[in-house]
Amino acid sequence: MKNIAILGSTGSIGTQTLEVVRDNKQLFRAFMITAHSNAYLLIQQAIEFLPAYVIICDESKYTEVKEALAHLPIKVLAGYNAIKDHVTLPEIDVVLTAMVGFAGLEPTINAIKAGKDIALANKETLVVAGDIVTSLAKEHNVKILPVDSEHSAIFQCLAGEEANAIEKIILTASGGPFRGKSAAFLADVTREHALKHPNWVMGAKITIDSASLMNKGLEVIEAKWLFDLQPSQIEVVVHPQSIVHSLVQFEDGSIKAQMGLPDMKLPIQYALTYPQRIKTNFKRFSFADYANLSFEQPDMDTFRNLKLAFEAMEQGGNMPCIINAANEVAVAAFLANETSFLAMSDVIESCMQQIAYIKNPTLHDYLNTDKETRIFAQNLIQKMPLKA
C-alpha cells in the first residue's frame, strides 16, 4: 500500500489521480490532499477518500473545510506553508505534484529532501530549477517519475535501455486548436477559442499553453532535465491525433514510440505503479478509428513561444525561470481578457531581454528572478494597448 500526497487534488490531474486511487484501493491511499481555494470539491474528496491530511491554501476557507470535516478523523490545515511543511511527513511514500505553476517548486524540493519519490505533473518545477531539483533527487536517491504524457512515453521507451544509447528524443505536440493558423488569425483569438483543446481536457493554464505551444516549450526543458539531455538532442513534431505520445531514437538509428488513446490516467497510474503495470479497463486504441496518423513540423515563426523556450533552454541559467514567470503572468492576463494572444510572446521576449541573466543561480536567485519577472511582466501588460 502506497501513501500518496496529492498536491492539487481538485485540478484536472488531481481528480484523475483520485480516480486511479479509487480504482486501486488495495494499492494506494490518498494520504494527503491539497487545493488552492476550491473548498467545496476538497471537502467532497476528503469525505470519500478519508485522507489523514487535508490542506487548503486559501486561509479564508479554513473554517469552512474544518467544520465540514469535524466529524471525521482528518487533520485540516491551511496555507501554502502547511503544504511545504507537511509533504515531508514520514508516512508519505510518493508526492504527486499536480498544482499549477511555480507554486509547485518549493513543496517538491522539500519532499525530495525528505526522501520522497515524486510523481511529477508540475512541469514548471523542472523548467524553473531543473538543475537544483535533479541534483537534489540524485543526492537523496529519490525517483522523479514523469506524469506528463510525453515524458511518460519517453520513460516507457527507455525501459531496458542504456541512457547513453539515446541519440535524440522527439516530443509530439497536438498543435492545439490553432494548428496551421497564421499570425493574422491569432491576432484576434479570444480566451474562449483558446480554451477549446481538440484532444485533452485540462486546467485553464495548460490549455492556453497548449494553444500557444508554450506547453511544448516547457516540456522541451522538462525533458532536458528528466532525461539529462543536451538541447540538440530534443526535437518537436506536431501530431494532431495525439496517439503517439513521444519517441526516442537510439544510437543505432532505431526509433521507439509509445502509443495509446489520450488519457492522462494511464501516465498517472504508470508513475504510481512503476516499474509494474497493472490491468485497466481504459478504452483501447483501435486502428479502425484512426485511418491516418499524421506528423508535421511545428511552425515556430507563428508560434513564437516554442522558439523562445528553445532559446531559453540553450541560454540556461535563470532564463527558463524568466520565461516561466513571464508566461504565467501573460497567461493569467490573457485569461482575464487583459492582453491579447500574440502579446503573450512579446511579454515573454521582453522579460528575456530585460531581466538580469544569472548563469549559475541558487534557489534564492530563482525565487528572486520569479518575483522580479512577474512585476516586470505585469507592468508591461498594463502599459500595452489591448489590441496591437
Interface mask toward Mg ion for 139-158; x: CB under 5 A: ---------xxx--------
Q: Smaller CB distance to Mg ion: residue 42 or 229?
A: 229
Stretch that binds ligand NDP, among 35-43, 220-228, 294-302, 350-358 (CB under 6 A): 35-43
Residue number, 11 or 298, with CB nearest to ligand NDP: 11
88 annotated ligand-binding residue: no
Burial of 199 (0-12, 13-18, 19+ CB in 10 A): middle
Task: Name residue 365's amino acid.
Answer: D
The CB density around residue 45, as the number of other CB atoms within 10 Å, is 22
x-or-dash string of contact with ligand NDP, 129-148, rule CB under 6 A: -------------------x
Residue 12 identity (one-letter amino acid): S
Preceding omega of 51 cis (within 30 degrees of 0): no
In 145-246, alpha helices (H): 149-157, 183-186, 191-194, 204-212, 214-226
Q: Which of residues 285-314 bind ligand NDP (CB under 6 A)?
A: none
Query: According to CB under 6 A, which one of 24, 134, 200, 235 is a site residue for ligand NDP?
Result: 200
> Taking CB under 6 A as the rule, does residue 57 contact ligand NDP?
yes
Nearer to ligand NDP, 215 or 249 (CB): 215
Shorter beta-carbon distance to Mg ion: residue 149 or 339? 149
CB 23 within 8 A of CB 120: no
- Chain residue at closest Cβ approach to ligand NDP: 11
- What's the order of all strands across the beta sheet hosting 255-259? 234-238, 166-173, 244-250, 255-259
For residue 35, state whether it binds ligand NDP (rule: CB under 6 A).
yes
Beta strands 94-97 and 2-7, pairing class: parallel
| Contact partner at residue 96 from ligand NDP, Mg ion, none, CB < 5 to 8 Å by partner kind | none
What Å distances lie between residue 158 and 147, 175, 247, 248, 260, CA to CA?
15, 25, 10, 8, 17
Residues that bind Mg ion (CB under 5 A): 148-150
Residues that bind ligand NDP (CB under 6 A): 8-14, 35-38, 57, 80, 98-100, 103, 121-124, 148, 200, 202-203, 205-206, 264
Binding residues for NADPH: 10-13, 38, 122, 124, 203
